[in-house]
Amino acid sequence: MNPKGDLIARLTALGLGTPTFDAQGTGPAHERTFRVTVRAGGRELGHGEGRSKRDAERAAAEDALSQLEGEDGEEESEQEQEQDTAPQGRWPIYAAVLEGALETALELADDDAGLDDVRRDAARLYRDLLSDLGHGPEEEG
């Protein structure tokens, strides 16, 4: 499990760039606690605390992924109304494939297409490719 890597892959696929992790340590050296805020695309995505900077960054990345999944859930609700036949579950993340799908969607997009249109098309391309390869959604649980 690599929450930081997963977050970087997700943000890259969404076109939000690389996240920054801002850490602050508090307390005496023998009882140090770190609080981390993760940001990307000009917005705050998550927070985390831990006894080490690494643990706090991991927690912040997990929080950011949860926040993004919540946003995706709202967007998916709209998409499910359009397409009720989409397989259920969580799709595995392959950064290189996501990047390729995003680049392809951008190349195929109309000149007046918005960012959300490109993201939606990239997600559709990604799902279709993984389905064709037999790598459908993973069961949550």
CA 137 to chain centre: 15
Q: How many CA atoms lie within 13 A of 52 on its CB side?
A: 3
Residue 91 is given by DSSP the state P
Give me the numbers of helices (H) and strands (E) for the chain, helices first please.
4, 3
The pTM of this model reads 0.53
**What is the pLDDT at residue 60?**
95
Distances, alpha carbon 88 to alpha carbons 13, 20, 42, 102, 139, in Å: 20, 32, 31, 22, 8
Residues 6+ apart with CB under 8 A from 50: 33, 34, 36, 56, 57, 58, 59
Query: Per CATH, which fold does 3-72 belong to?
Result: Double Stranded RNA Binding Domain (3.30.160)
Give the domain ranges of the chain. 3-72, 87-132
Q: pLDDT of the chain along its 141 residues, tens only?
A: 688 888 988 888 888 888 999 999 999 989 999 999 999 888 899 999 999 999 999 999 999 999 988 876 555 444 444 444 444 556 677 777 777 877 888 888 787 777 777 778 888 887 777 777 777 665 544
**What is the pLDDT at residue 69?**
85
